[in-house]
Amino acid sequence: MQLRYCFRLYPSTGQRMALARAFGCARVVFNDALRARETTRGAGLPFISSGELSKQLTSAKKTRERAWLAEVSSVVLQQSLRDLDAAYKNFFDSLKGKRPRMGPPRFKSRKDTRQSVRFTANAGWKITPGGKIRLPKVGDISVKWSRTLPSAPSTVTVVKDSAGRYFASFVIETSPGPLPGTEAVIGIDLGLTHFAILSDGTKIDSPRFLRRAEKKLKKAQQDLSRKTKGSKNRDKARIKVARAHARTGDARREFHHQLSTKIIRENQAVAVEDLAVRGLARTRLAKSVHDAGWSAFITMLEYKAALYGRTFHRIGRFEPTSQTCSACGIKDGPKPLNVREWTCRSCGAVLDRDVNAAVNIAKAAGLAVSACGARVRPGLVPAQRGETGTRPKPQPVTTGRQTGISAF
């Protein structure tokens, strides 16, 4: 399995200028190649091959208008052409139904907040003995190594995000091996009040990173709106807004990674529900749905289960998990969202709505989960006529003023 490893880069001022030059040259080559293909398509001519585009690039370097393309590594420019080929391939595959629908390649802008260039082994880049990354025509860049790479990488992608941060991204083939086996299985019901409810009764609160950061984001956005368009101060304010959003996204991503790793380590099989996130994102709950990040979390569970030898199940979204009693299996009908606890009319069990749904998700995936984890309370059974019992003692009637609590 291929995994991506990202590490923070700290280029100097001169290295930032060299990377900006590489970003710009790669963007121009991409746009020139796209324009050439669109022109031939409009004229009804055959599709220009990658080899022909590479020849045109070599010829363009010898002209006065494009002579500055020789200031960066030629591998960066060739990889930009490969990116265009990949964009066309994805577009054509989407038309054939091989992947989700996506639009044709679009022209890149220098105002795009995310810029990237890729260096392959042909470029001669390497990791120095001092732990820096040596890039051709850029120099040795300091790296914050947060962990050890499982194998030697052959390709590195340098990315500049909207917050002005630089990252080195490596895609490496790895196979760490399965984790020790366990008998535990789990069903997960995702929500907004609680981010995840497990079939064993565990409820994990939703951190609500965006909601907690809204005050700071609002202040930063207001400062940005007051700056003159095109000014240096507006660019500085834009970076502050981008950094605030980046911190929120990083915190959410870290929470997803920690929780997904914990669940995969402790359970042999995991079952989740296939949620219609796009549909929910068009409702009044859109901000909370995006803040939760369910899709990213489910994706992490899926690839980590495949990586560590666990079993991952995704059940259909139309399973009546909230309507079925996990104790007796009787479908009790739909219930509004404000009903968080209900009593089964068949067996009398008192069920927590979310935990009951998590148990049903596990059962729908074929996992042997006991309904005891759903916090099921047996219904009240009337005493027999001849059975003795105790009567509750009468409680004195007190007013709100006497108990020290306001009566209003």
Question: Could you tell me which of 176, 174, 257 has the C-alpha nearest to residue 3?
Answer: 174
User: Which of 259-268, 296-305, 339-348 bottoms out in mean pLDDT, i.e. has the lowest?
Assistant: 339-348
pLDDT classification of 76: cutoffs 50, 70, 90:
very high
Q: Does 273 participate in catalysis according to the annotation?
A: yes
Cα four-point dihedral sign 196, 200, 201, 204: negative
pLDDT, residue 368, reads 67
- pLDDT band for position 268 (cuts 50, 70, 90): very high
Give pLDDT tens digits for 40-61: 999 999 999 999 999 999 999 9
Identify the active-site residue in 32, 189, 291, 352. 189
Strands 156-160 and 166-173: antiparallel
pLDDT score at 159: 96
Closest-CA residue to 224 (of 211, 212, 239, 209): 239
pLDDT score for 388? 43
Select which of 32, 83, 273, 302 is catalytic.
Answer: 273
What is the tens place of the pLDDT at every residue in 183-194? 899 999 999 989
Catalytic residue among 291, 302, 352, 354: 354
At residue 401 the predicted structure's pLDDT band, cuts being 50, 70 and 90, is very low
Strand partners, 10: 142
Q: What is the pLDDT of residues 149-195, one digit of tens each?
A: 988 899 999 999 999 999 999 998 888 788 898 889 999 999 998 99
What distance, in Å, lies between the first and last C-alpha atoms of the chain?
63
- Quote the tokens at residue 401: 């003023």
Residue 354 annotated as catalytic: yes
User: Of the ranges 88-102, 203-217, 365-379, which one carries the lowest mean pLDDT score?
Assistant: 365-379
